[in-house]
């Protein structure tokens, strides 16, 4: 996978943020964000934009869960995690995308939302893949992302 350098002032060939030509970057620019709780991409806060850049630039599979609705924004490496749910998972509530994980992950999200980082190592979680529920092993770090006021506004995974 090639990641485009940001030497064009944060602009891409199509003239928008986020810069770069990866699949997810193009989908982010084209997504109808105004129909999500995040609102139009042009109105996103500096904190949200910085968190998105962090997610997109991560060298490992990463997903950002933003706001109390846990709206998903993920990098190209996370596409394999979503499998058949991609690309509709982009901009979707994580609870709607992974209902099979709600009981397990909601307590984790609540801890992070209170400002606590959480590490899950060698954790088996049921995941729906290709129509079948199967156990998959995960190592995930959940980190709170704080806004300018100091309040948690999102979760970086």
Neighbours of 17 (CB within 10 A): 18
Tens-place pLDDT, residues 43-93: 999 999 999 999 999 999 999 999 999 999 999 988 877 777 778 889 999
What Cα–Cα distance (Å) separates residue 101 from each residue in 82, 104, 127?
13, 5, 7
Rounded to the nearest integer, the mean pLDDT of the chain is 85
CA distance 16 to 100: 35
pTM: 0.84
């Amino acid at each position: 996978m090639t990641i485009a350098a940001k030497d064009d002032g944060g602009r891409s060939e199509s003239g928008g943020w986020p810069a770069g030509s990866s699949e997810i970057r193009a989908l982010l620019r084209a997504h109808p964000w105004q129909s999500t709780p995040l609102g139009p991409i042009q109105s996103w806060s500096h904190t949200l934009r910085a968190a998105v850049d962090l997610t997109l630039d991560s060298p490992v599979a990463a997903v950002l869960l933003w706001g109390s609705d846990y709206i998903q924004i993920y990098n190209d490496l996370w596409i394999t995690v979503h499998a058949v749910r991609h690309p509709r998972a982009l901009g979707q509530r994580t609870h709607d995308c992974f209902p099979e994980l709600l009981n397990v992950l909601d307590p984790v999200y609540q801890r992070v939302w209170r400002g606590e980082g959480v590490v899950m190592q060698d954790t088996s979680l049921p995941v729906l893949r290709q129509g079948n529920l199967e156990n998959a092993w995960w190592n995930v770090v959940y980190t709170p992302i704080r806004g300018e006021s100091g309040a948690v506004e999102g979760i970086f995974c």
